Structure 1
Amino acid sequence: MVHELDDFFEVVTQDADLASGSAKSYPIVVCKTVNGLVDYVKARRNVDSCRIKIGIDGGQGSLKICLNVEESSDERNVINDSGVRRSLILALAPNVSENYCNVSKIWNLLKLQTLEAFVTGDLKIINILAGVMANSSTYPCAYCTSSKSDLGEKKGLLRTIRSIRRNADLWTRNGGIRKNAKKFLNCAHDPLLEGEEEDTILCKCPPPVLHIFLGIINRIFNAVAKDYQMESEAWASAANATRHSQFGFAGRHCRNLLDKRNILARGPADKYFKLLDSLQRVVDSCFGVALLSYYTKPSRHSVMVGSTQDYLRHQNFTF
């Protein structure tokens, strides 16, 4: 049982680009046949209908690509199947940084273009997969063409595989000068995500819900701490939440803070309670495996999101 998957993997030597601009060869563990591994897992788990999730992470000094086979007929099974204990590593590249060149090499080794799957990762890796430059760029969003000065204020056009490919080609043909990339919406490479030309990045690669959630909760807490220090301390204590000096509150602690938002109600920090209450409704509606039925109704959803945006503007609260 311990070695039953050995035949699916091999070690290859691959050149990887370093941050310094040089290249170095590294041993990389890769799956030889991802489609074959998926079929094997489905047979072992006696699963017919499933969703395939590919996760990419460049933390802890290595580049990792993982696979989850999620049974689609039962939501409880999907939650279990999406957990880290059900993840299968497809590729492991120690000491290899996450950039477009390195990710594309491993992506091609795995032949992930042949796999029908949805892809998850943080905002950095999503930009890499989309072929868009870093999140500090003038046009930083992998999903739309809003400039960083307009994010949250003006809607951009949804990026498609075609639009990124076309702009990246135009940038290259115009010299590929980095400072001029903003003229081409900071599109630098062909998307690694496979699909039809008109497919949007939003449909191919879901937004990283956890990272968005962590950012929102930490910024709200920082705002409460700035304006109402005693209330923020009482809130953190009730939630049994501990803040890291560099990274802020982690996932479990952020969820506890949202659950204990009532601590802020009917006091000087009540405006933040209302904000958190609105956030909870959005989380309940669309942060899970399936959308709640009313989320897709324009009137209810527009009121929920629109009122939250208006409230944030009124309070001059900036994410």
Structure 2
Amino acid sequence: MFKIVMNILDTAGVQSTNSFKDSGIKGTLILALVENIQETDDNIRLILSNIKNLDKIKYHICSDVKLINIIVGIQSCSSKHPCPYCETNNLENVDTFTEDRTLGSIRHSASAYKSAGSNKKVAQHYTNCINQPLLTGDDHERILDICAPPELHLLQGIVKHVYDNMYKNWPHVSLWLDKINVKPTNYHHGSFVGNDCLRMLKNVDILQQMAESHDKHIIQKYVHILRCFYDVVKSCFGMTLDPQYDTYINQFKYAYKDMDITITPKVHILLMHVPDFITKHNRSLGWYSEQTLESVHHDFKRNCWEKQGYKRSIGHPDYSQNLTKAAIVYSSKNIS
């Protein structure tokens, strides 16, 4: 199911330091709910057009990078300008800032792209802006001020990328996963769920011991980068912000640059945009985590849609009515 939810935060309350707790679903309202659709510009535009008065409240969009790119109107992370937050065409350069993407810059580039014939072969000449943003707001508003860096997907993407490169150097690193009871998922090219990513980061000492016992000293650099990344995660991926978070991000950056592995869009976002976002809001990423949506997906399906007897197959005469009722009952429970 594709869902758009609103999570109401008590910014004055005391929060847990565990940013991956399912208790985040408390205070969550389901705004839109659709089964069996693809995440395309047309579909997302249609859904958002039916959600009224979002411009009347202060909000941040929390989603994965793929959906953020769709919402802001740019092409995917495989494009020449893949970042939703800036116009960089060189992810490897993590020392020089490039122009921020704003609603106005994307609107202008998307209009120019359309006037030129909407040929995707030349989209890179328009910083890969191919659609008008699906967001209201003034032209000067930065995308970084609207769409929060996706804490969970940064965690998953960076751990997965480091692990894949480590596996190329030592395929038996899979024994480490067996040792700590971690299994790649059967989707998203064998990625790891958030809790397993944390388990991997917490058990780097076991990785080091296993690599040394197999005389695989090349793994030491991966041990080091995972430790550096864990420091970053502990400092600014939870609900409590460590004042030294910027130091840990810089240490991770220098260690990563010594690795001779590619800088992915998610690594770029961590190094170039997370410090800016945190500095402005003075809060760690856990406050804006898209983990709540992941939790709602399973909780709604298991404890409401199925358990309470609302589930009907698509096409059933009661399907639409039951889906609406289930969403209302679920949301009402979360704010009661």
Structure 2 length-normalised TM: 0.67
1:255-266 matches, within 5 Å, as 255-265=198-208
Alpha-carbon distance in 2 for matches of 1:145, 1:250: 30
1:126-137 matches, within 5 Å, as 126-137=68-79
Q: Which moved more, 1:219-228 or 1:279-288?
A: 219-228
| Secondary structure of the structure 1 residue equivalent to 2:244 | helix
Match of 1:213 among 152, 155, 160: 155
Note if contact 1:132-1:188 (Cα within 8 Å) is conserved in structure 2: yes
Unaligned runs of 5+ in 1: 1-61, 296-300
1:241-252 matches, within 5 Å, as 241-245=182-186, 246-252=189-195
1:102 has 2:43 as partner:
yes
Note if contact 2:7-2:28 (Cα within 8 Å) is conserved in structure 1: yes
1:153 has 2:93 as partner:
yes
Alpha-carbon distance in 2 for matches of 1:93, 1:138: 32
1:223 has 2:165 as partner:
yes
Structure (1 or 2) with the greater helix fraction: 2
CA deviation after TM superposition for structure 1 residue 278, in Å: 0.8
Offset from partner CA, 1:282-312 (integer Å, 9 cap, x none): 11222123532233xxxxx2x5434433333
1:164-183 matches, within 5 Å, as 164-183=106-125
| Secondary structure of the structure 1 residue equivalent to 2:34 | strand
Structure (1 or 2) with the greater strand fraction: 1
Note if contact 1:139-1:186 (Cα within 8 Å) is conserved in structure 2: yes
Aligned residue type for 2:203: K
1:278 aligns to what?
228
1:312 aligns to what?
256
CA deviation after TM superposition for structure 1 residue 234, in Å: 4.7
Note if contact 2:104-2:140 (Cα within 8 Å) is conserved in structure 1: yes
Aligned-residue Cα RMSD (Å) equals 2.5
1:64 aligns to what?
3
Aligned residue type for 1:278: C
1:116 has 2:58 as partner:
yes
CA deviation after TM superposition for structure 1 residue 202, in Å: 1.0
1:254 has 2:197 as partner:
yes
Offset from partner CA, 1:226-256 (integer Å, 9 cap, x none): 32344x2453234221123542322211110
Pick closer, same or farther for the CA change 1:68–1:77 going to 2, 3 Å: farther
1:191-202 matches, within 5 Å, as 191-202=133-144
Among all aligned residue pairs of Structure 1 and Structure 2, give the percentage whose two residues are the same amino acid: 30
Aligned residue type for 2:194: G
1:48 aligns to what?
none
Alpha-carbon distance in 2 for matches of 1:308, 1:71: 32
Alpha-carbon distance in 2 for matches of 1:140, 1:209: 18
Alpha-carbon distance in 1 for matches of 2:72, 2:176: 39
CA deviation after TM superposition for structure 1 residue 264, in Å: 3.1
Unaligned runs of 5+ in 2: 264-336
CA deviation after TM superposition for structure 1 residue 180, in Å: 2.2
Instruction: Count residues with an aligned counterpart.
Output: 249
Pick closer, same or farther for the CA change 1:121–1:292 going to 2, 3 Å: same
Aligned residue type for 2:168: K
1:75 has 2:18 as partner:
no
Aligned residue type for 1:66: V
Offset from partner CA, 1:70-100 (integer Å, 9 cap, x none): 1111232796797245432111122222212
Q: Which moved more, 1:244-253 or 1:130-139?
A: 244-253
Structure 1 length-normalised TM: 0.70
Note if contact 2:2-2:34 (Cα within 8 Å) is conserved in structure 1: yes
Aligned residue type for 1:255: L
Pick closer, same or farther for the CA change 1:71–1:211 going to 2, 3 Å: same
Aligned residue type for 1:258: L
1:289 has 2:228 as partner:
no
